[in-house]
A and B are shown apart, each in its own frame.
Chain A
Amino acid sequence: MASETKLSHTAAMILQAIDTGCVYGFSIMEMTGLPSGTVYPAMRRLERDELISSRWERQSIADAEQRPARKYYKLTAAGRVTLEASRKRYPLLERMIPSPEGRSV
């Protein structure tokens, strides 16, 4: 996906949340405050546009912790470029969802 991709504010928030380490749906919902009916469809579209990718957690890990396996999301290279462009477009994005480095400063 080209770096010129312009994301909606919601999609940019989700990208930012994933970048900050919220790697599954519920944590993104908690971080952004958005409902599931908004977060998941947005993640599907981001995945379709190859800005994020998903993978299933290994079953053995989930079994060891006695819980169901989760689907994890992470930014792709294109997603990272798009997020950089979105941060310039939405300057408050990093303040709303500060990255771990920002939080530690």
Chain B
Amino acid sequence: MRPALGLALGGMNRGILRCASLLVPHSERADWRREWTAELWHIRLACQPRGGSSWRAERAATAFCLGAFQDALCVRGIRRQNWEIAPAQHGSAGECLFWLACLLALSCIVACVLPGVYVENHPSHYQINPGLVLLQRDLFNDSSAATITGQQFLDLKASRQRSIDGLAFYRMTRESLSPGFHAKPKWAVAHASFNLFALLGVPESFAGLSSETSGGLPPVVLSDELWKREFGGSPKIIGGIVRIGRTAARVVGVLPRGSWRLPGGADAWLLQPNTEISRSAVGYVVAHTTRVGQAEMYDDRLHINAFVTDDPDADLWGVSFNERTRGPWTIFRFAVLLAFLALPAITSVSLGESCFSSQRPSLMRNLYRWIFLSAKIALLLSITYFASLDFSYWNATGYSALSEYSQLASSFLICLFGMRWILLDQRERCPVCLRRVSHPAQVGQASRTFLAWNGTELMCASGHTLLHVPGLPTSWFGTQRWMYLDTSWKFLFAGTGVG
């Protein structure tokens, strides 16, 4: 046989062993391959004639290697059997924490991918200057409705106010926005006074915008979404001229995603001097409260007595932006508080610690039990936070009232039913080894409840305890009880690591 052919067959045999090794569990693979490779070397040595190779030797080696598949399957089968009968792993505290950690990791990964969750988790993106309020006429209950005309804004601006000292106006329109004269889809454009971004403080770079800073043209700020969809996210558009309706404006920047939390979902902000504000148009007025105004705030609202031309008797209310800029953490804490308050309504908050045998678990075992419970609760709360954000911002790129309600509801439900599961799980864990009790057996008959005990008996697979759960709670057996098994039970659990 040619040496090249011998080398090729040798490579093929090694390939067979490598393929077969993929069937072997990873932890045993290296050892398994080492044994087969060593034996293959010896077989080739034993079968080959000196100084060359023969078909007989190669055939023997290949036949030997093909047997590796059967061996690999056998090793795999043995491992699976061991896993199935391994009592130490099933239902253990570690296994429970592992799966909770996996859930947490999954919800974290999803949260990292969703842009809406990213924005919510970074309050610096949407935190505005403190002490700002949205002025509204008292006729309107909806805090997101535009209620103040341009004329009223100018009247307020011209008059001296005790409780507010800075005012900015904006009104929403739908207009086409394009770099040229081509027909383009219409976008939500906010016509705002120059000082809007300076008053909000978000972002700081837009604070000193005016026509002078943008070469005599009104400056326009684009939203992140508009910038990406209409201009492909190109940085070249900054400093360029666009047409908004019939007005030419210079693009001065892009507002980061999620920064705008005021009413009216704007795609672009066209900044104009107050003299160009349409007096009849209805819009929003943002005001900064003075110290007096802040002292007069009650329940995030401020009553302002202001004289306006067209309605001298109108009352104005300043509504704080706290609700819009509080972030997900406040909602989460509130939902968790609600869930903990509602928990006793859906399950008993007892941990079922009572027992009727004299033996009790040691202080250290009790400590482990409480540490395990605390770890489960900590993981559940983390899962609740991230999973509720994932759910609420799955299809939303930023803040919306719907997302907030959705987060509140989902946090509440996940926390409530998660806590219920945690308590039920804890009640069914052996106080000694923290494994779930299993093998439920119905004992007694319901018809004989008052003559003998009737209920379900569960057993710790390691032989530490029996759990008795009454089928019908009575005055002498109202809650579950643990019975600690002494060494006389040991023979029943031989081989399960009792002790």
A24 within 8 A of B: yes
Alpha-carbon distance between A45 and B78 when the two chains are bound, in angstroms: 8
A21 within 8 A of B: no
Contacts of B78 in A (CB 8 A): 44-45, 48
Using A36-B63, A68-B38 as known contacts, say yes or no to A44 and B71 having CB atoms under 8 A apart.
yes
Alpha-carbon distance between A41 and B69 when the two chains are bound, in angstroms: 10
- Whether A35 and B63, one on each chain, are in contact in the complex, defined by CB atoms closer than 8 angstroms, is yes
- Whether B67 and A44, one on each chain, are in contact in the complex, defined by CB atoms closer than 8 angstroms, is no
Contacts of A36 in B (CB 8 A): 39, 63-68, 71
Alpha-carbon distance between A42 and B46 when the two chains are bound, in angstroms: 23
B74 within 8 A of A: yes
Most interface-central of A29, A40, A45, A67 (chain B CB within 10 A): A40
- Whether B43 and A26, one on each chain, are in contact in the complex, defined by CB atoms closer than 8 angstroms, is yes
Query: Shortest beta-carbon distance, B86 to chain A, in Å?
Result: 13
Chain B: number of interface residues, binned into ranges: 20 to 34
B37 within 8 A of A: yes
- Whether B42 and A67, one on each chain, are in contact in the complex, defined by CB atoms closer than 8 angstroms, is yes
Contacts of A67 in B (CB 8 A): 38, 41-42, 45
Contacts of B373 in A (CB 8 A): none
B74 partner, pick from A26, A44, A69, A71, beta carbons under 8 A? A44
- Whether B68 and A44, one on each chain, are in contact in the complex, defined by CB atoms closer than 8 angstroms, is no
Across the two chains, which residue of chain B brings its CB closest to A48? B78
Query: Shortest beta-carbon distance, B67 to chain A, in Å?
Result: 3
- Whether A26 and B39, one on each chain, are in contact in the complex, defined by CB atoms closer than 8 angstroms, is yes
- Whether B38 and A40, one on each chain, are in contact in the complex, defined by CB atoms closer than 8 angstroms, is no
A70 within 8 A of B: yes
Contacts of B70 in A (CB 8 A): 37-38, 40-41
Query: Shortest beta-carbon distance, A65 to chain B, in Å?
Result: 11
Contacts of B379 in A (CB 8 A): none
Interface residues of A in 24-67 (CB under 8 A from B): 24-26, 29, 35-41, 44-45, 48, 67
Given contacts A35-B67, A36-B65, 18 further A-B contacts (CB under 8 A): A25-B39, A36-B64, A36-B67, A37-B69, A37-B70, A38-B70, A40-B67, A40-B74, A44-B75, A48-B78, A67-B38, A68-B34, A68-B37, A68-B41, A68-B42, A70-B38, A70-B42, A71-B34
Nearest 3 pairs of A and B residues by beta carbon = A36-B67, A37-B67, A41-B74
